[in-house]
Structure 1
Amino acid sequence: MISHVSQVGVYVNDQDAALAFYTEKLGFEVRSLREGPGMKWIEVAPPSGQTTISLASKDFPVGDEAKIGVYTDIAFETQDIHGLYETYRQRGVKFTNEPELQPYGKWFAAFLDQDGNQFFVFQPVE
């Protein structure tokens, strides 16, 4: 039986720039960083997260440049969306949607990484 989602991939133009963005601006932790001939494997995650994000190069064997700068289908959750918004904004993260309460009962915001990949963040309403 499957227990959880282990990892998801996000394609990036420059893995080193992506690593800096995800760790310095988003506050993620490096969970794996391995290099081999012509390849680098990087996984990051929020400090309490179980699922990692692999920062995949467009040059990776199954890479696809068309997957860079797109909506990722990845949504994060926070208990303080307004605080997260202010912290990330001060660190230079670009938001495409400021926090707003949605009719389906969650606070919602959307932001971009250094390559324009879009992510959502939600906060449940108590």
Structure 2
Amino acid sequence: MITKLGQVNIYVPDQAKALAFWQEKMGFRLVKEETFHGMRWYELAADEQNETSIVIHDKAKVAEMSPDVHLGTPSLMFVTKDIEAFRSDLQAKGVFVGDVMEFPTGKVCNFADDQENYFAVMEVR
């Protein structure tokens, strides 16, 4: 039986750039850095509980080692308690943030990392 989603893998062309984005602009913390068979990856989490973490992989290395792996960016929906404050904070850091839209489930906007991968965030109060 599955009890939770543990990690989400994100495959990027530039790991250093992705690591800087998630730490400096999104406020994620580095949980661990691993190297195995010439591959390096970084695990980051948004909070101390580490309920779900993202793992940043080198897209080219993964493609070389596992050619059947889908290397597209996953469609991730993050959660915030104040979407307007979240949006303002990212804009002040130079991050592209889309307009806030109202859905039956709440307010949502998207944002892009420094490698043009798009993600979304939903306000949950």
Equivalent runs, 1:44-123 vs 2, <5 Å: 44-48=44-48, 49-58=50-59, 59-60=61-62, 61-62=65-66, 67=71, 70=73, 72-95=74-97, 97-102=98-103, 104-123=104-123
* Deviation sequence 1:68-124 (CA, Å, 0-9, x none): 5x5x211000000000000011111112x222222x131000011111111110013
* Secondary structure of 2:40's aligned partner: strand
Deviation at 1:56, TM superposition (A): 1.1
Identity %: 30
> Distance between the aligned counterparts of 1:63 and 1:57, measured in 2?
13
2:85 counterpart letter in structure 1: G
Give the TM-score of the pair, scaled to structure 2: 0.85
SS in 1 for 2:54: strand
Q: Distance in 2 between matches of 1:81 and 1:90?
A: 14
Unpaired segments ≥5 residues, structure 1: none
Rounded to whole Å, the distance in 2 between the matches of 1:5 and 1:39 is 23
Does the 8 Å contact 1:11/1:63 carry over to 2?
no
Q: 5+ unaligned residues in a row in structure 2: which ranges?
A: none
Contact 1:5 1:51 in 2 (8 A): yes
Where do 4+ consecutive residues of structure 1 move more than 3 Å? none
